[in-house]
A and B are shown apart, each in its own frame.
Chain A
Amino acid sequence: MIQLQHIRKVFNAGLPNEYVAIHDLSLNIAPHQVTVLTGPSGSGKTTVLSLLGCMARPTAGRIMLQDREITSLPERFLTQIRRSTFGFIFQQFNLIRGISVLENVMLPAYPLGEPLGGLKKRALKLLDLLNLTSKGAAKVEWLSGGEAQRTAIARALVNDPGVIIADEPTAHLDTGLSREFLDIMGDFKGQGKTILIASHDPMVHESEIVDRVVKMRDGRIIDAGVI
């Protein structure tokens, strides 16, 4: 479904602190599966996720999304693809402080300009699904770690994306909450969503919902795992 073909990513190209984060990396992501990227810190997991999710462009190589070459698309189109295809869950949750949980969840849909009624209904349904109904009006800074995580998941899902991308989702969670997160991801996998996770948490690799573990080191894949 998503293919990385001979990707190379260089940061600060041409400057003294030039750094090659990804070397000639090729990877095929299968649809409706849970794929986990793992490897030591600095190995390039986050970089690969951001390339897959159209957050950044590769220095060289091509990215295909459902047989469409997206590497050379202008920013506007990339944003549209990102909005409709990918839902992001960040390591730091990245919720917007000072506004309510419900507003945070609806935020990615604002640029689409759909009627408020429908949007609100969808957001409330997601809150219900993630056990956050009672927190809808709460400000996000009052939330516990697990609630903030679930709010971030709800936000990632509000535009009903086909692909969920999560970067170190369990880094700030205890065992119980990590398990809960994996269960939620399992449910979404059951609904046919494609899930990409970067994590060096053994609990994630060993989870039964994971179909494939890709091991990375120094910007290269050292074990592509079984598909």
Chain B
Amino acid sequence: MIKAIDKQRYILDFTLSSLWRRKGKNLALVLVYTLVVFVLGSVMFFTQALKNEAALVLRGSPEIIVQKMVAGRHDLIPVSHGAQIGKIRGVKAVKARFWGYYYDPGAQANYTLMVPEDLPLKDQEIIVGAGISRVRRLFRGSSIVFRTYDGKPATFFIKGVLSPDSELLSSDLILISVPGFTRVFGVPPDRATDLTVQVANRKEIPTIAAKIVDALPDTRAITREEILRTYDAVFDWRGGIMIAILAGAVLAFLIFAWDKAAGLSAEEKREIGILKAIGWETADVLEMKFWEGLVVSLSSFFLGIILAYGHIFYASATLFEPVLKGWAVLYPEFRLTPFISGYQIAILFFFTVIPYTVATIIPSWRAATIDPDAVMRT
């Protein structure tokens, strides 16, 4: 038992010194390999994180949203519409929502101002998203001045910063009280931005939505399924591009592994011959090659994963910006919430480390099974 461990240690030692002897070639290998893992890892982290964000968005979205339409555009809705909707059979609750966009010239950014449903705020209190907190350096206790609809300044105090459960959603968000909202935007007291409807039976959502539009012809009812479909479409499109990138990376990796498999240098072959001639068994040589493949692929794997993680979650997926264009307009400067699933890592591991290690062993196996007397004639 101790012998077996000592033997592995010797073989590993020799492997490491062999890798070091050919450091030029091996560093190039690690570089290419890391790059492949980096691209694959980035794509994986990115799609997963986006899906994650979307799931959070959807979890919080109401079953039906009712908007008033004027000349085909979204307009403020009379709060009294809510009472009428409440009379429709199957409707459990109707709530008025207040939200709007505020342009901050200082940060040159749009904020979403919203009145929270179940979070009482005093008139001058606000809660800001993590993105705003970062950009404007706003923390609990500091204050900010907004310019109201009629050009007057209005001071608000920061009660807290939103925890970044989903930054995609809350990065640019400001939670505000109803009086504060009215003061900034000048919304008439009997008007809301839109209404949300809660339904007793989910199966009735489409019917109720139709009934609402029937009863209130100047409105439009948006169901959660419609929102979901929109998100799906967005993801499908983006997903397609991601799959293209992914396929490219896998292909590059296969070519790379194949090349590696085909190319055992004359020097390496000579060494395998010598080792066999001086008493190494075929299995010992293969163990050495196994360690070699494992050291190269594991170190590249971890390096690639770490870089990909940093790229997606700390560098805001900079390299994917072209793909993300539309999104970035919607949500200026956000950071995805770090999210890693063991399953994904395992998949990535399976498609990189294992084929590579096998690709290192196979040609060596061919070289290691030839009769050792060949080395007597070199």
Which residues of A are at the interface with B, using a C-beta cutoff of 8 A?
Answer: 46-47, 49-50, 55-57, 75-76, 79-80, 82-83, 88, 90-92, 94-99, 103, 107-108, 110-116, 155, 159, 167
Contacts and interface: CB of A to CB of B under 8 A. Distances in A.
Given A98-B21, A110-B11, A110-B284, A90 B375 contact: yes
A103 to B, nearest CB: 7
Given A75-B282, A112-B7, 15 more contacts: A46-B376, A50-B373, A56-B371, A75-B281, A79-B282, A82-B279, A88-B278, A91-B376, A94-B274, A96-B275, A97-B21, A108-B280, A111-B11, A113-B8, A116-B6
B103 interface: no
Contacts of A108: 278-280
Which range contains the number of B residues in contact with the other chain? 35 or more
Contacts of A97: 21, 267
Nearest to B8: A113
Interface of B: 2-8, 10-11, 14, 17-18, 21-22, 267, 270-271, 274-284, 371-373, 375-378
A96 B274 contact: yes
13 contacts: A55-B371, A55-B372, A55-B373, A90-B375, A94-B277, A97-B21, A99-B17, A107-B278, A110-B11, A113-B6, A115-B6, A116-B10, A159-B279
B254 to A, nearest CB: 31
B278 to A, nearest CB: 4
Nearest to A82: B279
Contacts of A92: 378
B18 to A, nearest CB: 8
B252 to A, nearest CB: 30
Nearest to A91: B376
A83 B7 CA distance: 15
A156 B375 CA distance: 15
B14 A113 contact: no
A76 B378 contact: no
A120 to B, nearest CB: 11
A57 B373 CA distance: 10
Nearest to B372: A55
B279 A113 contact: no
A113 B6 CA distance: 5
